[in-house]
Structure 1
Amino acid sequence: MSARRDAPLSGATDQCPAALLEVADCVLFDFDGPLCDLFSGRPASGVAERLAGELRDVAPVVAASAAGDPLALLQAVAKHHGSSPATDRAERFLTAEEAEAAGVATPTAYALELIGALDAGGWRQAVTTNNSPAAVIRFLERHGLSVPAVAHIHGRTSEPGLLKPDPHCLVRALESTGSTAQEAVMIGDSPADCLAAKVVGVPFIGYAVNGRKRRALEDVGARCTVPSLRGLLEAARRRVRSREPGAGPPAAGVHG
Structure 2
Amino acid sequence: MATEHVATGTEPETENLREVIKRARFVVFDFDGPICRLFAMHSAENVARDLVELLARQGLRGLLTEEERVHPDPMAVLHAVDRRRPRSDLVTELEERLTTQELLAVVSAMPTPYADPLIRTWSAVGARLAIATNNSARTAASYLATRGLTDCFAPNIYGRTQDLHHLKPDPHCLNRALNALGAAPATALMIGDTPSDLVAAQRAGVPFLGYARNAGKEKALREAGAEDVVSSLEPVLRAVRGQA
1:60 corresponding residue in structure 2: 61
1:194 corresponding residue in structure 2: 198
Equivalence map 1:37-186=2 (5 Å): 37-56=37-56, 57=58, 59-63=60-64, 65-66=68-69, 67-186=71-190
Deviations 1:13-65 (A, max 9, x none): x9833321121101110001000000012010111111111222163124563
Looking at structure 1, the residues matched to 20 and 156 of structure 2 have their Cα atoms a distance apart, in angstroms, of: 21
Unaligned runs of 5+ in 2: 1-11
TM superposition score normalised by structure 1 = 0.85
Deviations 1:164-219 (A, max 9, x none): 00000000000111111011001000000000000011000010122221121122
Code of the residue aligned with 2:237 in structure 1: it is: L
Structure 1 residues 16 and 211, CA, compared in 2 at 3 Å: closer, same or farther?
Answer: farther
1:20 corresponding residue in structure 2: 20
Deviations 1:153-172 (A, max 9, x none): 01001201110000000000
The 8 Å contact of residues 131 and 153 in structure 2, kept in 1 or not, is answered as: no
Aligned-pair Cα RMSD in Å = 1.7
Deviations 1:76-120 (A, max 9, x none): 111111010110111000011111111220000000111100111
Residue 127 of structure 1 aligns to a residue in which SS? Answer: strand
Residue 91 of structure 1 aligns to a residue in which SS? Answer: helix
Whose helix proportion is higher, 1 or 2?
A: 2
Counting aligned pairs with the same residue, the percent is 39
2:34 corresponding residue in structure 1: 34
Structure 1 residue ranges, 4+ long, deviating more than 6 angstroms after superposition: none
The 8 Å contact of residues 27 and 128 in structure 2, kept in 1 or not, is answered as: yes
The 8 Å contact of residues 15 and 224 in structure 1, kept in 2 or not, is answered as: no
Looking at structure 2, the residues matched to 111 and 178 of structure 1 have their Cα atoms a distance apart, in angstroms, of: 24
The 8 Å contact of residues 137 and 158 in structure 2, kept in 1 or not, is answered as: yes
Residue 185 of structure 1 aligns to a residue in which SS? Answer: strand
The 8 Å contact of residues 120 and 152 in structure 2, kept in 1 or not, is answered as: no
